[in-house]
Structure 1
Amino acid sequence: MEVFIDKLKEVLQSVLPITILVIILHFTIAPLPGIEFSRFLFGALLIIMGLAVFLFGVDIGITSIGNYLGKEIARSNSLKFVLVMGLILGFFISIAEPDLIILANQVSEVTDGAIPSTVLLVVVSVGIAFMMTIGLFRIVYRYPLRNIFFVIYTLIFLLAIFSSNDLFAIAFDASGSTTGALTVPFMLALATGVASLNHDSKSAEIDSFGLVGVASSGAILGVLILGLFTGDSGITGTLSVDVGAYTSWVVPFTDTLPHMA
């Protein structure tokens, strides 16, 4: 119970400031129309409770799994094992990230299906898997992080020359969406587990740093490389929002709950 209370406090610190800001704007210069304000308050409550439960599960489950896996990967002392596990773990923790799933669906809708959600999910997850493997190798062999980032962002800038503005924006949004509540704790735990076999605690802490940054760059590279093969033709569309579809503030939640579940 103590762990859940701690997570609830963390979520409150994150969500309450923006909630209070919207409330202040509602009663001053930008009032929300109709029943939208009631929906916002109820939605904020659901976010607080839902994130607290989700992070509670991550803390007692995902983090421990990541630590154990990281230690076993490093203890194997096998290049093939590090390569295979990095690819498998990187792909599956990325494709399960809720933020990335939401982004992929929105991109597919806004582009009128020019970039299908499944394609974007797979491409980004493959990019994350590949770069996370590179990051694990870096931790195991203590290769300088600055050199890795220099190579990565040199490639990104070179690929950006052949990319459209729309695709470039999608690539960086995809990178941001992969640093969500599921992916980051697992990657941090994995990096800590791999680096923990170094008996020098100070060096281990330095070695474990940077895995999330290296892995998330894989999303950018993946989308930009996808653009080389697909081009940017047909990336047009709009995101329609029918705010008048419901007359009750609670019905949108009850209608969406079965689909979300």
Structure 2
Amino acid sequence: MNSHLFQGFGQTMLEVGAALTPLLFLFLIFQVQLFRLSIKKILPIMTGFLFTFLGLSLFLQGVYLGFLPIGRLIGAELGTYDFIWLLLPIGFLLGFVATYAEPAVNVLIHQVERASRGYIPQKLLLYTISIGVGLSVAVAMLRLIIGISLWVFILPGYIAAFLMMRYSPRAFISIAFDAGGVATGPMTATFILSMFVGIAGEIGETNPLLDGFGMVALVALAPILSVLTLGILFGRKERAQ
């Protein structure tokens, strides 16, 4: 059983190591040229690198062994339901929960609250991003059921985003596009995506290759729109005060 759990773990560690090595190398260059920190200050940083390496390796191994298979199984089961429209609220719930638990999103909201000195609360931003992603997953479910082209949602969505940028504070514009990136993290790009492919393989004449993908593009767009909406509301509040 242990050999099965850690099958391919060496390759996963190599991938994580390749991703972290440039960052470690850059830190060492700055340490030699500029920082020149004492050993007492370097040790916690090196410990953090080690914990990050082990944590990411174990997390990705869990993704490969758990999220991907269970996502496909759940999608294949949901695709056989007679009440196919139930996929819309189910998609919203799964999108909301996956984003709420996304590690990258939690890092972003913490940094935003810290940089804004509490002006943009963590919880408010977290719920804004999670609700936006939940709605986008529900829309992606609708697209999967009806068979609507992805362009029908993507093109008007980005046009609306660029129009909303004119009325949103500049800080929220930056946060919005960062939120669009972090929302498409491991939780969404593994579990939700594999679930969509499983559903597309069971619904009517849909092609899993053509209709099962594209959901990540909608998820990347949703936080941009939701955070820009929040920025417009904050802007109106500021003007009213």
Question: The TM-score by the shorter chain falls in which range?
Answer: 0.7 to 0.9
Which residue of structure 2 lines up, in the alignment, with residue 191 of structure 1? 196
Q: Which one of 92, 96, 101 corresponds to residue 91 of structure 1?
A: 96
Is 1:214 the counterpart of 2:214? The answer is no
- 1 CA distance for matches of 2:141 and 2:62? 25
Measure how far apart 1:233 and its partner are.
6.8
Structural RMSD (CA): 2.3
- 2 CA distance for matches of 1:233 and 1:46? 42
Distance 1:163 1:77, change over 3 A: farther
Q: Unpaired segments of 5 or more residues in structure 1?
A: 235-261
Alignment-mate amino acid for residue 165 of structure 2: A
Task: Tell me the alpha carbon deviations over residues 202-221 of structure 1, each in whole angstroms, 9 at most, x when there is no partner.
Answer: x4212222111101211111
Which residue of structure 1 lines up, in the alignment, with residue 124 of structure 2? 119
Measure how far apart 1:116 and its partner are.
0.9
Distance 1:140 1:80, change over 3 A: closer
Which residue of structure 2 lines up, in the alignment, with residue 2 of structure 1? 7
Which residue of structure 2 lines up, in the alignment, with residue 228 of structure 1? 232
**Counterpart contact for 2:145–2:203, Cα < 8 Å:** no
Identity across the alignment (%): 29
- 2 CA distance for matches of 1:93 and 1:105? 18
Is 1:169 the counterpart of 2:174? The answer is yes
- 2 CA distance for matches of 1:216 and 1:73? 24
For the residue of structure 1 that corresponds to 2:92, the secondary structure is helix
**Counterpart contact for 2:80–2:203, Cα < 8 Å:** no
Alignment-mate amino acid for residue 187 of structure 2: L
**Counterpart contact for 1:90–1:128, Cα < 8 Å:** yes
Alignment-mate amino acid for residue 227 of structure 2: V
Q: Unpaired segments of 5 or more residues in structure 2?
A: 1-5
- 1 CA distance for matches of 2:228 and 2:172? 7
The structure with the largest helix share of the pair is 2
Report how many aligned residue pairs link the two structures.
Answer: 232
**Counterpart contact for 2:184–2:219, Cα < 8 Å:** no
Measure how far apart 1:79 and its partner are.
4.4
Distance 1:232 1:64, change over 3 A: farther
Q: Which one of 75, 78, 99 corresponds to residue 80 of structure 2?
A: 75
Task: Tell me the alpha carbon deviations over residues 75-102 of structure 1, each in whole angstroms, 9 at most, x when there is no partner.
Answer: 2253431111011101000101111112
- 2 CA distance for matches of 1:69 and 1:133? 16
**Counterpart contact for 1:140–1:194, Cα < 8 Å:** no
**Counterpart contact for 2:96–2:131, Cα < 8 Å:** yes
Distance 1:68 1:34, change over 3 A: same
Distance 1:154 1:61, change over 3 A: same
Which residue of structure 1 lines up, in the alignment, with residue 61 of structure 2? 56
- 1 CA distance for matches of 2:117 and 2:215? 34
- 1 CA distance for matches of 2:186 and 2:122? 20
- 2 CA distance for matches of 1:52 and 1:232? 45
Please, which moves more after superposition, 131-140 or 157-166? 131-140
Q: TM-score, normalised by structure 2?
A: 0.86
**Counterpart contact for 1:73–1:85, Cα < 8 Å:** no
